[in-house]
Amino acid sequence: MPTTWVVDSNCFIHMGSMAQNNLIEDLNKSIPEGIFVTPGVHKEIRTVRFQRWKNKPKLLDKMLPILTTINIDDDQIRGLATQIGERAAPQDVDLSLMVLASKLAREGRDVTLVTDDFKMTTTSQKVNLGFTTCPPSTFLQRLSEIGPNACKSRFRSLSRRTRAAEMRYAISRVNEYDIQAKLTWMVDSLIDSKPQIKQQETVSEKSSEQKLIRALRKFLLGGEPKKSHMNKLLSLPEICLPVKELDEYLQQISSNSSVVVSDTYADGIEKISSVLERVGIGLAPLDEDMAEIAHRAIAGHIYRMETCLAMLAKLNGNLMNARLHLSRALHHATLIDDVKSEMLATNQLGLLALARNKWTRAAELFEIAERQAQTIKASRLTYVVCAGMARYLSDEKTLAAKHLSSAQKLVEENLAQAGTELLVLGEALMAMDEVGLAIEVLDEGMECAIEAKQAALTERLAEYLVLANNALTKSEAEQYLGLRQYLDDINTVERTSADEFEERMSGIEQQAEIMSQPIEAPDGWVSAEVVFPSSTKFTVLRQIITSGNEVLIIGQHGNLGVVGFWLPDSEYNVSAGQNITIAQTQVKVADAPTKLRSEHNLSSLVAIKDCSKISFSAEINM
């Protein structure tokens, strides 16, 4: 497992004073994951310059592309200070780095905190924070051992000069504290960094195992691996062959324009159960090493299947099953050489937690997804925005403000991309019946699109805002009363763009008002086709069970507005995102009662004579 490096300010100061101008390139090659820091480090090194570079540029400006900056809650910093004893506590920036290193270690990473502050080492050991420490000179020495050959001599030279500076500083403090323990730690960290022969052998074994895993994956995806690899895999290809049926299932439902969710979910459960049983029976007699190769090779297939089942379970109204499938998907994603899979699964779990009003848990999941996104240099705006909203809703305003600051910087970098990402997030929130949150996100997306002069994107956002405003209930509007003011600061528009935004929003409100008018239909029972053409599809917003155990399904149409389908004698298990079609029966349309109109913003109430003629389906994109 590669080391995750959390680096303090003094290490950057050493690099600024002594590093040559190829440092950034060498770091990129040696640590593809980059370096982790907290915002406090930025403040402490903002004036540091590369002294040996031409024109002495600021170190932070050059380093930013390889830094992953993670916000840390002040409460966590204070909590750690209390845990280790206030008198013994390092400065707040150092504490924030210790909290960050501990958080990353709890995610299963091998974390080393780079610092020349020996107090951070002793205090971390005192409370068992789960990471190791080393001084900057040892960090640079290790880079000389793990990096490409071209970087080795430069890192070794930089390490020696840094070690000399560390020693001089330690000796200069000999009259202030006992430096023996610190010098011992510095030497021990250097000795521990030396590669061992056994470790090299393990790497070689792992490399051979990886080749077999890749060969088996290639076979299961329809490729032709080397015969030598296939021979070493013995019976594994035949044992694992059933997992191809999962891909066939996913291909089948993806190719359909829409599917009946409950039936498709049941078929999916039957399919994955059958596949796992057959593979498990085949692997049972094999040794642990062969089974591990198989599990890693089929992990991608099972990850995709579990993600699909989670989507179906959510559409079927069962958030607990959706959470279970996503948790399994995340587990299998850890076996794939693709951090993006882990990031996406974690984000989906965060959205589910958001829908269940588990604000703190949602924030934690979004923050993990953001760290994963930073690690692989993926887009992270939606994770930052969601984490900020969740922290705001859990009344953690300080941390919410830090996420807001990060979101502002990301939006400034690319307004058009920000608008697109906020649209996607708004769609996802609407699909989970979080209309109140969706409106706030789509509003900010509209600002970005207008300022970036993206006409097509502006139109798409306007369409969704009409739907969202029409679907917003009074209770939802009140639930997120303060959130708009918080999110309004994500993007600050120029005066001309602000005028266009206000004009757009006024038009959206007018369209929403038109859609809220009752549906015009003849009195009494009439053919469904008279009121709703056969191609008419409503999107489910939510399902309501009345006190009399009657079912009211709230659906929305782009022209007909929000409609309540009254199904008194039926049992359904549907949720936001499914489609409703009605055919070959009669319907009766009435104005919605005042209470229902107020609670759910209904334009009309529709009774269906034969409830078996209402169909629920969904479009599944995998």
- 560, two tokens: 């007909």
What length is written for the chain? 622
- What is the mean predicted confidence (pLDDT) over 336-358? 84
Contacts 24+ apart (CB under 8 A), 464-468: 464/423, 464/426, 464/427, 464/430, 464/438, 465/439, 465/505, 465/508, 466/508, 466/511, 466/512, 466/515, 466/558, 467/430, 467/556, 467/558, 468/426, 468/430, 468/435, 468/438, 468/439, 468/442
- Whether residues 485 and 556 share a domain: the answer is no
* Strands 538-545 and 551-557, bridge-based pairing: antiparallel
Is the pLDDT score of 222 beyond 60?
Answer: yes
Whose tokens are 């191809």? That residue is 244
Give the per-residue pLDDT at 148.
82
Is the pLDDT score of 194 beyond 60?
Answer: no
Which residues are CB-neighbours of 369 under 8 A, at least 6 positions away?
343, 344, 346, 347, 350, 380, 383
- Whether residues 106 and 167 share a domain: the answer is yes
3-state secondary structure of 70: coil
Is the pLDDT score of 463 beyond 90?
Answer: no
Give the per-residue pLDDT at 517.
78
- What is the mean predicted confidence (pLDDT) over 234-249? 92
Is the pLDDT score of 17 beyond 50?
Answer: yes
pLDDT band with cut points at 50, 70 and 90 for residue 72: confident
- Whether residues 88 and 169 share a domain: the answer is yes
- Whether residues 545 and 503 share a domain: the answer is no
Determine, yes or no, domain membership for 595.
yes
Determine, yes or no, domain membership for 433.
yes
- What is the mean predicted confidence (pLDDT) over 589-610? 83
- 5, two tokens: 């490096």
The region of weakest confidence among 112-116, 165-169, 390-394, 472-476 is 472-476
Last residue of a domain, one of 469, 496, 515: 515
526-527: strand order across its sheet = 526-527, 586-590, 604-608, 561-567, 551-557, 538-545, 579-582, 614-617
Q: Which amino acid is at 323?
A: R
Q: What is the mean pLDDT of the chain?
A: 83
- What is the mean predicted confidence (pLDDT) over 374-385? 88
Determine, yes or no, domain membership for 461.
yes
Digit-coded pLDDT (tens) for 512-556: 776 777 888 888 898 888 888 767 888 888 888 776 777 888 888
- Whether residues 31 and 81 share a domain: the answer is yes
Give the per-residue pLDDT at 384.
94
- Whether residues 459 and 566 share a domain: the answer is no
Last residue of a domain, one of 178, 195, 212: 195
Is the pLDDT score of 468 beyond 90?
Answer: no
Q: What is d(CA 146, CA 33) in angstroms, rounded to the nearest whole number?
A: 13
- Whether residues 138 and 60 share a domain: the answer is yes
- Whether residues 499 and 459 share a domain: the answer is yes
pTM beyond 0.75, yes or no: no
Cβ(240)–Cβ(216) below 8 Å = yes
Digit-coded pLDDT (tens) for 84-103: 765 545 568 888 898 898 88
- The sign of the dihedral angle between the CA atoms of 313, 319, 325, 330 is positive
Give the per-residue pLDDT at 424.
92
Give the per-residue pLDDT at 173.
63
* Strands 3-7 and 110-114, bridge-based pairing: parallel
pLDDT band with cut points at 50, 70 and 90 for residue 423: very high
Determine, yes or no, domain membership for 387.
no
User: CA nearest 69: which of 403, 328, 394?
Assistant: 403
The region of weakest confidence among 380-384, 415-419, 466-470 is 466-470
Which residues are CB-neighbours of 316 under 8 A, at least 6 positions away?
261, 262, 265, 573, 574, 575
Determine, yes or no, domain membership for 606.
yes
- Whether residues 31 and 168 share a domain: the answer is yes
Last residue of a domain, one of 144, 175, 195: 195
Give the per-residue pLDDT at 48.
92
HSE value, Cβ hemisphere, 13 Å, CA-based, for 109: 25
- 464, two tokens: 């969704």
- 537, two tokens: 């599809």
Which of residues 310 and 569 earns the better pLDDT score?
A: 310
Determine, yes or no, domain membership for 580.
yes
Instruction: Tell me the chain's radius of gyration from C-alpha atoms.
Output: 29
- What is the mean predicted confidence (pLDDT) over 266-277? 94
Is the pLDDT score of 278 beyond 90?
Answer: yes
Determine, yes or no, domain membership for 211.
no
Give the per-residue pLDDT at 387.
94
Please count the other Cβ atoms lying within 10 Å of the Cβ belonging to residue 614. Answer: 22
Which of residues 475 and 103 earns the better pLDDT score?
A: 103
- What is the mean predicted confidence (pLDDT) over 382-406? 91
Which of residues 402 and 533 earns the better pLDDT score?
A: 402
pLDDT band with cut points at 50, 70 and 90 for residue 57: very high
Which of residues 217 and 208 earns the better pLDDT score?
A: 217
- Whether residues 489 and 557 share a domain: the answer is no
Digit-coded pLDDT (tens) for 328-343: 988 888 887 666 888 8
Please count the other Cβ atoms lying within 10 Å of the Cβ belonging to residue 532. Answer: 23
Count of structural domains within the chain:
3
- Whether residues 15 and 114 share a domain: the answer is yes
pLDDT band with cut points at 50, 70 and 90 for residue 164: confident
Cβ(98)–Cβ(80) below 8 Å = yes
Give the per-residue pLDDT at 168.
79
Is the pLDDT score of 198 beyond 70?
Answer: no
Is the pLDDT score of 196 beyond 50?
Answer: no
Range of the domain at 460: 414-515
- Whether residues 29 and 133 share a domain: the answer is yes
Q: What is d(CA 172, CA 182) in angstroms, rounded to the nearest whole number?
A: 13
Give the per-residue pLDDT at 568.
73
CATH code of the domain containing 122? 3.40.50.1010
Determine, yes or no, domain membership for 232.
no
Which residues are CB-neighbours of 500 under 8 A, at least 6 positions away?
450
Give the per-residue pLDDT at 88.
44
Give the per-residue pLDDT at 378.
87
pLDDT band with cut points at 50, 70 and 90 for residue 127: low
CATH code of the domain containing 613? 2.40.50
